[in-house]
Amino acid sequence: MNRYNFKLVEKKWQQKWQNSNIFSSEIDRDREKFYCLEMFPYPSGRIHMGHVRNYTIGDVLSRYKSLVGFNVLHPMGWDAFGMPAENAARENNLDPKDWTNKNISTMKEQLKKLGLSIDWDREISTCSEEYYKHQQLFFLELYEKGLVYRKENYVNWDPVDQTVLANEQVIDGKGWRSGAIVERKKLNQWFLKISQFSEELLSDLDKLEAWPNKVKVMQKNWIGKSFGCEITFQTEGDLPVKEIKCFTTRPDTLFGFSFLAVSVDHEISKYFSENHEFQKFKKECSKTGTTEEAIAIGEKIGFKTNLMAINPLDHTQKVPVFFANFVLMDYGFGAVFGCPAHDQRDFDFAKKYKLDIKTVVKPLEENDEFQVRDEAYTGPGIVINSEFLNNLKVPEESILRSIDILEEKKIGKKKINFRLKDWGVSRQRYWGCPIPMAYDENGKVIPIPKMNLPVKLPENINLNTKGNPLDFIDDWKNIEINGKKYVRETDTLDTFVCSSWYYLRFCSPHDKDYGFKKKDIDYWMPVDQYIGGVEHAILHLLYSRFFMKALGYKNENFKFSEPFKGLFTQGMVCHETYKDENNNWLSPEDVEYDGSKFRKKGDLESKVKVGPSESMSKSKKNVIDPENIIKNYGADAVRLFILSDSPPEKDVQWSEQGMIASYKFLQKLWILHNKIKDKIFNSNDNEKENNNLEKFTNQIINKITNNLENFNYNVIIANIYEVYNFLNKEIESKISGKVLRENYLKILTLFSPAIPHYTSECFEDLGYINPISWPKANTDLLIEDEIDYVVQINGKKRAILKENRNIDEESLLLKLKSNKMTERYLKNRTIKKTIFVKNRLINILVNE
RNA sequence: GGGCGAGUGGCGGAAUUGGUAGACGCGUUGGUCUUAGGAACCAAUAGUGCAAGCUGUGAAGGUUCGAGUCCUUUCUCGCCUACCA
């Protein structure tokens, strides 16, 4: 017998799979389809462990579904536009296209070494003309439908990357990629009208039963629907301002009105452009606006104007109008009415500026003299001190009733407000999909005629420019359409646009006329299982959902509203972090453990500080390169390990020891395989039938099938170990070769989604080709003749008794009275009650 | 501040509808074989006790014949989010 040589075996099967094209998929109306999609990678250069985990999970699922009989679509592509390519190209004097394509081919080879069941014929790359030309067409279609518009807007400007960031790309006031502090800048930008679908995006979440609740909640919060009322306040003062509109969810507290606050960007701020004090205040606000500490401390500051706002319910009440730092321009109307007694922010503000705090809601248990003192009261209760609103129940009655009254008096309107903002898609970068628009000499927008698509990215250009390189390419920028001169739009699309429809492209990857074919998507869509990191819970997933709805808008031929039927978010791969004496990060490859402490490799005197396990990242150097690991241990061993240690939705700790254990396990499994093979071919078929083995096989079929269906992939690996432990013992007993063969083939099939190269080799070694169907448990064999009855006396386990499965309560009780384990608990005692759960347990309650 | 989730051996983690807590792996300990072993194999491994037993799923209560699982209160940790009116 040979050692199991994974190098030869894995290479052999990967080639066979490739040559026989067994993973390529075609429409087959006689079979139910299953579309399994993992989030496609950004071609950064090399795959990382996160990819290994993500794609292994998807591969196990795809292989399983295919064995169960589904027609599986399992494609892969590249999210290939984006800034890293441009940055790398600039630094190394390369073309972003070359850099990207080189990375793609490296990573493709790496992925192939994992033995993934991917239909590579459908490979797509978002930076190819073949892909983005369709995207440009979609953009024009959305433009025609009124879902694309251009407006001047304050944008988040990343001074390092010299580009605009979406709100979602600003984290703690810093650019998500560069980490630079984001500035505010006014620019003309292209927007997609995602807000038009706010309600639908929210309500359709309920349809997504196979999505993690966590993700749905995050999207719900992001969309941020709130129900309330817009109120128009009349103003008095020395400015030409007659009224200010506010949005509120608490119109019932209007009698507690004591100030009105507007954002520093509110339109009335234009009257303060010459006011130095105000400009100083505005600067102050922008400084503290977004930093974490500022929000944590939450200091409220304001700038008092000479304007007074009139309470629309009580014209005698006039309150000051402030600019305030806690009012956001891009929510509601950028103005709020302040009711200090029942809003903590307003309360803090009122305390600071010594404004009235008038209590208008009392908790149920308090009397009418109740006064808000140390903090705002925001709970339920009864309206007081509010004339005709008095005695209404807060919040059930009071809010609706007060809206009605405001509507009657024509001072307010019922309003639903969303937090979700339109999606700014303009990026001032070269390496992206060009926006197919142009401007005439007056700046008027004209879409590029569809027949002139694609708008190709120019090649071999100078990237060493400040801002967008495309701005400097005159012969690309200046065009003629129908004899008229135009200047192209030089912004490119946010790369999230590319990933918002790629799942459709996989259905018709080679179609030249359109992004997808109707007959293809009608068969394959929606994605049955989408798998990826939870970090895309909001951005990518929300944009993709929007894109489906936008394509279907005013289009009866497009019947889908949700792209991803099932979603699974896998956890991250973590590793301990190491630092040397000088607090420099060390790579795990440079660290060794001598049994008691960690040190630098080959340096006995050195000390290494071990830090907490954190998600693998280059900056902390705690990365393990998958390619090396695959080279050393083989793909199946890596797959086995990455699945084994934690539930796939949770973070997993990378462990070298665990990795080695998985590798050794396959070696042991191979030794066992050879024993089994020997027995299959050499033992007499007349040996007594082995009931144990058949029973076990049927049990394990059930277990593994259930665990696969429920994503308990870590438990599947435990099940595989269980099988090994069982067979390794059972093989020593006499077994009929026929029975052994039948059961072993089933077992190998159960293993095959997780360790496909190994099982393929085993099948071949026994003279079989790979299985084509998943085994079914024989339920008859799952019924045990003998049951381990748990015997409890007064609820305490006292014995386990092997008994016939059909034994009744009385016979069992009789046996227990004479059984030496249990008789002493029953002797001389009265049995008050017995609880008998058939085939499981008996609980006898006795007097002590 | 708000939302979501999780607390089980030395560690990662198992545990249909409430019904044998600790599957499986790592680590550790002892042994076998070895010149040696950081290899392989065998055995043990929740705590405590010589044992029968007792105690054990963050803590405290509750429901139940029976609770890791259900309910109430509470503590700790993680993740997300953030002045959203």
Tell me the DSSP string of A311-334: ETTEEEEEEEEEEETT--TTSTTS
Distance CA A304, CA A391 (A): 34
Q: What order of strands is seen across the sheet that includes strand A426-427?
A: A426-427, A492-493, A433-434
Give the per-residue pLDDT at A287: 66
Distance CA A527, CA A610 (A): 42
Question: Is the sign of the CA dihedral A547, A551, A552, A557 positive or negative?
Answer: negative
Can you list the positions of beta strands (E) in A21-62? Answer: 33-38
**Is the entire prediction scored with pTM above 0.80?**
yes
CA(A310)–C1'(B15) in Å? Answer: 65
- Which amino acid residue lies closest to nucleotide B4, measuring CA to C1'? A214
Give the per-residue pLDDT at A658: 92
Distance CA A329, CA A205 (A): 28
- Which amino acid residue lies closest to nucleotide B27, measuring CA to C1'? A657
Nearest to A653 by CA among A683, A682, A614, A709: A614
CA(A428)–C1'(B5) in Å? Answer: 39
CB neighbour list of residue A296: distance below 8 Å, 6 or more residues apart: none
- Which amino acid residue lies closest to nucleotide B15, measuring CA to C1'? A715
By C1' distance from the Cα of A226, the closest nucleotide is: B84
By C1' distance from the Cα of A335, the closest nucleotide is: B85
Q: How many CB atoms lie within 10 A of CB A389?
A: 23
Evaluate whether A266 touches A321 at the Cβ level (below 8 Å). Answer: no
CA(A182)–C1'(B81) in Å? Answer: 19
Per the listing, tokens 């693998």 go with A616
pLDDT tens digit sequence for A186-207: 788 899 999 999 999 999 999 9
Helix, strand and coil content of chain A, in percent to the nearest 5, comes to: 40, 25, 35
ipTM attached to this prediction: 0.95
By C1' distance from the Cα of A212, the closest nucleotide is: B4
By C1' distance from the Cα of A334, the closest nucleotide is: B85
Lookup: tokens for A724: 């090994």
Lookup: tokens for A822: 């249990």
- Which amino acid residue lies closest to nucleotide B13, measuring CA to C1'? A646
Nearest to A204 by CA among A529, A497, A505, A541: A541
DSSP 8-state symbol, A353: T
Give the per-residue pLDDT at A748: 96
Give the per-residue pLDDT at A289: 47
By C1' distance from the Cα of A349, the closest nucleotide is: B83
Give the per-residue pLDDT at A292: 46
Distance CA A228, CA A296 (A): 27
pLDDT tens digit sequence for A534-593: 888 899 999 999 999 999 999 999 999 999 999 999 999 999 888 888 888 888 888 877
Nucleotides of B under 7 A from a protein CB: 2-5, 12-17, 19-21, 23-28, 39-42, 53-54, 65-67, 79-85
By C1' distance from the Cα of A641, the closest nucleotide is: B25
By C1' distance from the Cα of A288, the closest nucleotide is: B83
CA(A541)–C1'(B83) in Å? Answer: 27
Give the per-residue pLDDT at A805: 77
Tell me the DSSP string of A573-593: EEEEEEE-TT--EE-GGGEEE
Give the per-residue pLDDT at A283: 83
Lookup: tokens for A678: 């020997």
Beta-strand pair A314-324/A302-311? antiparallel
Q: Could you give the maximum distance between any two Cα atoms of chain A, in Å? A: 111
CA(A676)–C1'(B40) in Å? Answer: 20
Find out whether the peptide bond into A458 is cis, omega within 30 degrees of 0.
Answer: no
Report how far apart, in Å, the C-alpha atoms of A758 and of each of A108, A331, A489, A646, A676 are.
22, 58, 54, 22, 15
Give the residue ranges of chain A where pLDDT is below 50: 289-293
- Which amino acid residue lies closest to nucleotide B64, measuring CA to C1'? A795
Beta-bridge mates of residue A479? A486
Nearest to A459 by CA among A447, A449, A469, A468: A469
CA(A168)–C1'(B1) in Å? Answer: 21
Distance CA A575, CA A572 (A): 10
Residue type, A271: Y
